Structure 1
Amino acid sequence: MTTPPAPHTPLRIGLLGTGPWARNTQAPALAAHPGVRLSGVWGRRPEAAESLAAAHGTEAYTGETGIDELFAASDAVAFALPPDIQAPLAVRAAAAGCHLLMDKPVATTVAGARELAGAAERAGVASVVFCTLRFATGTAQWITEQAALDGWFTARAQWLGALYAPEASSEYAASPWRREKGGLWDVGPHVLSVLIPVLGEVTELTAARGPADTTHLVLRHASGASSTVTLGLGAPVAAVGMEIELRGERGVVTLPDWGDAVGAFRSAVDALTESVRTGVPHPCDVRFGLRLTELLAEAEAGLLVSRRL
């Protein structure tokens, strides 16, 4: 395990990425966190890195050498990059002794996620995967409370966005990986990060295709409970929404409003800091990120098989 910073010493966290997620969520959360010093911003486009770094009073890094320079200036690194760019860079960061604050999914191939998990284990670095609902103020405690209860019978989850509707205007719609992989890979990790701690590991998975990029999943969990999940980014604007409902011996409960992304990311930073300080792995670490990738890849493979039938 890498040596943690001395008590009361701010954790130096570098940020890789300059897109909308970095600008809107990660950079503001890191710059304002009292226990953190934003040690720099790396971007593929020098002007974007310089602009975001200047906005938050830190250094800009670019190019291949800039990546290693940021690692050297940081105790940990946060990623706001497409998953299959994130994964190999995180392997490099772990080898450089940097703790990891990953975005979901950690990769879109099982091989990439497995290599990352192995690199983090070999380096002895702490890691947290930012699945928003696991860290948001409105939902994190709710998940913990439901996970402590027995007797859940079934769950129903739905997350539909309208990124690609003609009348929609989201800067996240420009993301090539998001358009290619769809709601299964983008919002699927969020839903699974709620269902798995409450209902248990997924033991059976069936996937079916819906309209546009919509994917339907039927899951069986280790507890014996089942769940159904609907995921998509291409719904009509009037159809968007997110809800998760649990039914069991104690009745019916629904996921509360989760709040804002900046606050949730700040809590993920707290979780990483605690894991660095104590050496205790967080439940939502790169090993959990690997498991999510395995499940999403299994679902995607099932969709391909059904398309050929």
Structure 2
Amino acid sequence: MASPGENKTTSDSQQEEISALRDYFKDNIRILSSIGQFSYILKIRTDQYDVSLTLQLDESYPSKAPEIIITAPRLTAEQVLLVQQLLQSYSKTILNQPMVLLIYSRLLQWFAENNIQTLNANSNNNNNNTTNSSNTSASRSPPHSLISNQNQNKTTQSDEPIKKTSMKTSEDVISRIEWDTRLDKRYFRVGYIDRFLGLQEKSFNDFDFQVDLSTVSDRHSNVLAIPKHRIQYFKYNNEIIWDKETRTDLVFGSTGNQQTIYDVIARHESLMENNYTPS
């Protein structure tokens, strides 16, 4: 068992890496702390490929690899599963050191190796070749190359903003989970803003979404009911499937995702089968 001093060192190491990542990624990273079993949940956006990399770190990180989730509307479900398994395996080879930036770099390398075009590739073939070359270099070079490449892509995309599609609301998600008999409510969780405690997360079954909030007193402790606009995200089995801030929708696929909740469930079932080893 680790001593209190060792636990403190691990915690301090995590905080140092989180601070460095916040400075490095700026607006392209979202950091949640103390969510369920995890010390941190990191969501990193890679705008040039329209992909979100989610890493879930528990208190044993970095001696234990983070749980990795990829959200990539432009990829097929099979590609998402492939790259997710690749990164998960890679992370187990680089334990006991800060590994988030290494995993991110490996993700960029995979995109380059598989000739996945950047979002602005179709507008100018010459720019596409330059960008792909830059991305390949970024995935295999020291961190300062990643920074310069990331800033370059931000500048390019700001010139040609992408029109956002209409996103399904939290109320739509609630209705789907409640009335779709193929969905098991026990595997869903809700992240929401509490007026006094900030960001909280509870099981979907803990809520009564049918309650008229005007009849609920703040001192009424037996009813967990919140205004739907306070809902920030929904999870399925620890994977974020709907997120207000990042416009992630893996329930309906309303924001252009090629995946829906059935793809997510199938992927988790596949992972469970692959990780199962008979005694």
With the length of structure 1 as denominator, give the TM-score of the two structures: 0.23
- Report the structure number with the largest CA radius of gyration: 2
Q: Give the structure, 1 or 2, with the largest relative contact order (CA under 8 Å, sep 6 or more).
A: 1
With the length of structure 2 as denominator, give the TM-score of the two structures: 0.25
